[in-house]
Amino acid sequence: MSIRFKQRSIMPGFGLSFGYTLFYLCLIVLIPLSAAFLKASKLSWHQFWHIVLSPRALASYRLSFGASLVGAAINLVFGILVAWVLVRYEFPGKRVFDSLVDLPFALPTAVAGISLTTIYAPNGWLGKPLAAVGIKAAYTWVGVAIALTFIGLPFVVRTVQPVLEDLDKELEEAAASLGAGRFQTFARVLLPTILPAAITGFSMAFARAVGEYGSVIFIAGNMPMRTEITPLLIITKLQEYDYAGATAIAVAMLVVSFALLLPINLLQSWSSRREGKEFSPDAPAAVSLEPLYSATESR
Amino acid sequence: MSASAPSRIGQAQATSAITRAISEPAEVRWILISIAVFFLVVFLFLPLGVIFSTALADGIRVYLRTFRDPDTISAVRLTLLTAAIAVPMNLIFGVAAAWAIGKFEFVGKSLLVTLIDLPFSVSPVVSGLIYVLLFGLQGLLGPWLIAHGIRIIFAVPGIVLATIFVTFPFVARELLPMVQAQGNEEEEAALTLGGSGWQTFLRVTLPNVKWALLYGVILCNARAMGEFGAVSVVSGHIRGLTDTMPLHIEVLYNDYQFVPAFAVASLLALLALVTLILKSVIEWKAAQQVGGDFSGETNP
């Protein structure tokens, strides 16, 4: 029998739902996205590379990628710690902390931006003590990293948390009965188990941070060559009516974020495979609504 | 009787030894909790705190005065209008996509899922830019639109479109795993018993996935009302006309009008808190529903 596009089914409504899905997807996402590539294709290769590799653009990539990496790394360490504490220990207010972990997803980025700036400004709640020890946070790359830490905070917590919850106590008991110390058990048994999920969360936080705009521009100071993130550079070029420049950098960013999608998807299937095989072989899929934004943002 | 008592004590001792062996000493636990709480307080509670304390710094009357400003009122109105269009559009799409992908097997399914997720991996600024490149003056359709007197960029339609783009995957994303997990058996039973397609969808599928649906709508709405980057590119920042609440916050903040800026921000922060509370409630309800299904009870 020849290969069919769709398997036979008695369920109705495939034509309508599939057709509408495809139509709406093309209308809202695919056609506008291809407009950017079409516009960029009007530039010659030479022009394209000249814009994309200009010193100002390179400085913005360094800041965007560097600060995103710092933010994601902070979230990797503290995310594992927070997930551990929320799953394993009891303390007053635990449920409130647990729910508030998602705040960076729910709080509009502009609101996050102005409040972080107010906190870390030289006369702010934390800016003042930091300034006293000689750290200038707001309007430097440190401020950018702080904002990117904030917006990436939920990713690692929310990817590691379910893995820790499903973890079989017997593994740890086995390690302990074989004479492993508590730290040894953590480093040799627990950490390798949660690592795939943690790295997935790390890369999601990184991917999200690279494109972030609203929460950063208030705290960054926005000085060309020094504290100008790549998305801001696109806006600046637009405001100067330099559409070609804005498009070229936007296409470069699109290519990078699509390139990040592949490793993230691979990581995700790797971690869900590990999880599935070792801990909950026949757990029903999607029992809880746990995936929340972690599954959504930048997957 | 007497023989079982010592063994029970022995068992209890063994259990406590195991518990000790697989948990940390109290002081380690205390230190870890403190670090985690400190981290969360600095990164989550302080930003929330500073919003409300700055908004109310000059008293409740100054706070309330912000909302009598016509520009603020028009920003609130535009934000509500944008969400009122974007959320239903993406809701209809999400239901259609979840039905097509969740209930049928076809070639290229995983590609379709990846494409639906695409807007999440695009920077908000780029999301706005692509509409400018399509509908703007310099854009592909720009000259035609001008000839016909249609304004999309620097006007409300552009804001709505950019918002639809950034919130595009939310409902589909939340609904799809639930629709897939439910399987087709219940629908097939309904169809065999003579139900029509729509009846089956409304009476069988919808009640099963209602919490996921609601959850997706709430997330979609929160993002639609709070979107900044994408909307900022297409809006043109015309005060009182094309400023949404987040854009109005930027304008006020850059004018050094900190109290009004944080007053408007406090509304969006409240929206975020309500979203988080609803999310907790829905998760609890959904867990209950799933629990009920497992124990063989039907949910009323």
Chain B positions touching A247 (Cβ under 8 A) are 129, 133
Give the model's confidence band at A281: pLDDT under 50 very low, under 70 low, under 90 confident, else very high: very low
Q: How far is CA A32 from CA A28, B3, B139, B147, in A?
A: 7, 79, 11, 21
Strand partners, A8: none
Give the model's confidence band at B283: pLDDT under 50 very low, under 70 low, under 90 confident, else very high: confident
The structural domains of chain B, ordered by start, are 4-50 (no CATH), 68-294 (1.10.3720.10)
What distance in Å separates the CA atoms of residue A269 and residue B242, rounded to the nearest whole number? 42
Give the model's confidence band at A2: pLDDT under 50 very low, under 70 low, under 90 confident, else very high: low
Quote the Cα angle for A66-A72-A74, to 5°: 105
Q: What is the DSSP string of A177-213?
A: HTT--HHHHIIIIIHHHHHHHHHHHHHHHHHHHHH--
What distance in Å separates the CA atoms of residue A69 and residue A145, rounded to the nearest whole number? 8
The predicted pLDDT at position A273 comes to 73
Name the range with the highest mean pLDDT among A166-180, A185-199, B151-165, B173-187: B151-165
Q: Compare CB distances from B24 to A182, A258, A265 and report the shortest one's residue.
A: A182
> Across the interface, do A261 and B287 touch by the CB < 8 Å criterion?
no
pLDDT mean over B19-32: 83
> Across the interface, do A298 and B120 touch by the CB < 8 Å criterion?
yes
Q: Please, which residues have CB within 8 angstroms of residue B29's CB and are 6 or more apart in sequence?
A: A89, B23
Q: What is the DSSP string of B264-298?
A: HHHHHHHHHHHHHHHHHHHHHHHHHHHHHHHTTPP
A134 SS3 class: coil
Give the model's confidence band at A262: pLDDT under 50 very low, under 70 low, under 90 confident, else very high: confident
pLDDT mean over B105-112: 91
pLDDT mean over B37-50: 96
> Across the interface, do B177 and A14 touch by the CB < 8 Å criterion?
no
Q: Please, which residues have CB within 8 angstroms of residue A247's CB and are 6 or more apart in sequence?
A: A36, A39, A40, A43, B129, B133
For tokens 């997720």, what's the residue? B117
The predicted pLDDT at position B285 comes to 86
Nearest CA in chain B to A23: B93
Provide the shortest C-alpha distance from residue A52 to chain B (in Å): 15
The predicted pLDDT at position B291 comes to 60
Q: What's the mean per-residue pLDDT of chain B?
A: 89
> Of A8 and B122, which is predicted with more confidence?
B122
The structural domains of chain A, ordered by start, are 56-296 (1.10.3720.10)
Chain B positions touching A172 (Cβ under 8 A) are 21-22
Q: How far is CA B225 from CA A62, A106, B203, B247, B260, in A?
A: 31, 10, 31, 11, 18
Residues in B 191-230 with any Cβ partner in A closer than 8 A? 191, 196-197, 200-201, 211-212, 215, 219, 222, 225-229
Residue type (1 letter), B159: I
| Phi, psi (rounded to 5 degrees) for B106 | -150, 165
| B contact test, residue of A149, A229, A289, A297 with most B CBs within 10 A | A289
pLDDT at residue B13 tops 70? no
Chain A contact for B30 (CB, 8 A cutoff): no
Q: Please, which residues have CB within 8 angstroms of residue A40's CB and are 6 or more apart in sequence?
A: A48, A247, A248, A250, A251
Q: Residues for chain B: how many in total?
A: 300
Give the model's confidence band at B11: pLDDT under 50 very low, under 70 low, under 90 confident, else very high: low
What distance in Å separates the CA atoms of residue A255 and residue A282, rounded to the nearest whole number? 38
Residues in B 159-188 with any Cβ partner in A closer than 8 A? 161, 164-165, 168-170, 173-174, 177-178, 180-181, 184, 187-188
The predicted pLDDT at position B17 comes to 67
pLDDT at residue A189 tops 90? no
Chain A positions touching B126 (Cβ under 8 A) are 36, 211, 231, 234, 250, 253-254
For A122-175, write each residue's pLDDT tens digit.
999 999 999 999 999 999 999 999 999 999 999 999 999 999 998 888 888 888
> Across the interface, do A114 and B46 touch by the CB < 8 Å criterion?
no
For B241-273, write each residue's pLDDT tens digit.
899 999 999 999 999 999 999 999 999 999 999
Chain B positions touching A33 (Cβ under 8 A) are 118, 122, 130
> Across the interface, do A25 and B227 touch by the CB < 8 Å criterion?
no
Chain B positions touching A260 (Cβ under 8 A) are 121
What distance in Å separates the CA atoms of residue A193 and residue A175, rounded to the nearest whole number? 14
Q: How far is CA A38 from CA A25, A30, A236, A251, B150, in A?
A: 18, 12, 21, 10, 23
What distance in Å separates the CA atoms of residue A163 and residue A201, rounded to the nearest whole number? 12
For B123-161, write each residue's pLDDT tens digit.
999 999 999 999 998 888 989 998 999 999 999 999 999
> Of B7 and B201, which is predicted with more confidence?
B201
The predicted pLDDT at position A218 comes to 95
The predicted pLDDT at position B273 comes to 96
Give the model's confidence band at A3: pLDDT under 50 very low, under 70 low, under 90 confident, else very high: low
pLDDT at residue A290 tops 70? no
> Across the interface, do B212 and A289 touch by the CB < 8 Å criterion?
yes
> Across the interface, do A296 and B106 touch by the CB < 8 Å criterion?
no
> Across the interface, do A12 and B169 touch by the CB < 8 Å criterion?
no
Q: Are B234 and B132 within 8 A, CB to CB?
A: yes
Residue type (1 letter), B165: F
Chain A contact for B243 (CB, 8 A cutoff): no
Give the model's confidence band at A275: pLDDT under 50 very low, under 70 low, under 90 confident, else very high: low
| Phi, psi (rounded to 5 degrees) for B298 | -90, 145
**Longest Cα separation, chain B:** 98
Provide the shortest C-alpha distance from residue A214 to chain B (in Å): 6
pLDDT at residue B233 tops 70? yes
The predicted pLDDT at position B152 comes to 92
Q: How far is CA A217 from CA A73, A138, B51, in A?
A: 21, 11, 17
Q: Please, which residues have CB within 8 angstroms of residue B44's CB and are 6 or more apart in sequence?
A: A100, A101, A103, A104, A153
Lowest mean pLDDT among A161-165, A255-259, A281-285, B267-271: A281-285
